[in-house]
């Protein structure tokens, strides 16, 4: 399920019910020819459940990085056997492509097809659009993926530079 929920809120917001919110973002590191993603899952109260980063070598377009992030988040959710999840991304191109039936032979379209296939396997999982400012923690992790490549984080080992972003989000919803 895909929602172009164009949440006009400029900050992270709490979910209703017993849902998990997953924020995902990507970053391109042109100087070393790589790109990375950051994915963070939080409970309905904003508490960190788990987060991860991934770093890959390659010079790709932003749409590829963002759709790769959504695909990796969906694979992670499937591996965790989670349901009742809202994935939030600031990539309008990815959200629109996932909701579209148009296919064009390209790497981007193949990633989008993977996203659609994963969404069909999952229960009550949706992808929504949010503003970049509502996706700060995902963005911080994506930018840090060149330092913390392919790492999994929880409350006990999350990098200290991510704490202010998480705490700011918690202050908003208190």
The CA distance from 162 to 160, in Å, is 5
Region for residue 68 given its phi and psi (left: phi exceeds 0; alpha: psi -120 to 50; beta: otherwise):
alpha
- Percentage of the chain exceeding pLDDT 90: 70
Model confidence at 103, in pLDDT bands (50, 70, 90)? confident
**Residue 165 — pLDDT band, cuts 50, 70, 90?**
confident
Three-class DSSP category at 101: coil
Predicted local distance difference test score (pLDDT) of residue 6: 44
Q: What's the pLDDT at 4?
A: 44
How far, in Å, CA of 160 to CA of 158, rounded? 6
Q: pLDDT by residue (tens digit) across 17-50?
A: 889 999 999 999 999 999 999 999 999 888 899 9
pLDDT-wise least confident of 18-32, 126-140, 160-174? 160-174
Taking Cα atoms as reference points, which of 150, 171, 170 lies closest to residue 51? Answer: 150
Q: What domains appear along the chain, each with residue ranges and CATH number?
A: 20-172 (3.30.420.10)
Measured from the Cβ of residue 2, the count of other Cβ atoms closer than 10 Å reads 19
Phi, psi of 149 (to 5 degrees): -70, 135
Name the token pair of 61: 């377009």
Question: Is it the case that residue 166 has pLDDT exceeding 80?
Answer: no
- For position 163, what pLDDT does the model report? 79
φ/ψ (deg, to 5) at 139: -65, -45
DSSP string, 29-94: EGGGTEEEEEEEEE-TT--EEEEEEEEEES---HHHHHHHHHHHHHHHHHHHT--SEEEEES-HHH
Cα separations in angstroms, 172 against 46, 52, 92, 134, 148: 10, 23, 24, 11, 27
The whole-angstrom separation of Cα 133 and Cα 23 is 12
Is the pTM for the entire model greater than 0.75?
yes
Pairing status of strand 20-29 against strand 34-42 = antiparallel
Residue carrying the six token digits 């919110």: 21
* pLDDT for residue 132: 87
Binned at pLDDT 50, 70 and 90, residue 138 comes out as very high
Mean pLDDT of 46-65: 95
| Mean pLDDT taken over the chain | 89
State the pLDDT at residue 46: 86
């Amino acid at each position: 399920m895909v929602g172009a929920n164009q949440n006009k809120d400029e900050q992270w917001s709490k979910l209703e019910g017993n849902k998990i919110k997953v924020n995902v973002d990507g970053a391109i590191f042109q100087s070393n020819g790589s790109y990375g993603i950051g994915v963070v899952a939080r409970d309905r109260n904003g508490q960190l459940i788990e987060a991860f980063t991934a770093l890959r070598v390659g010079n790709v377009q932003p749409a590829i990085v963002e759709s790769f992030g959504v695909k990796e988040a969906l694979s992670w959710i499937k591996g965790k056997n989670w349901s009742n999840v809202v994935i939030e991304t600031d990539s309008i191109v990815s959200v629109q492509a996932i909701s579209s039936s148009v296919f064009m032979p390209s790497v981007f379209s193949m990633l989008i097809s993977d996203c659609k296939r994963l969404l069909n396997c999952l229960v009550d999982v949706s992808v929504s659009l949010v503003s970049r400012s509502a996706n700060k923690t995902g963005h911080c992790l994506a930018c840090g993926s060149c330092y913390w490549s392919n790492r999994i984080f929880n409350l006990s080992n999350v990098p200290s530079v991510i704490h202010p972003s998480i705490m700011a989000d918690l202050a908003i919803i208190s």
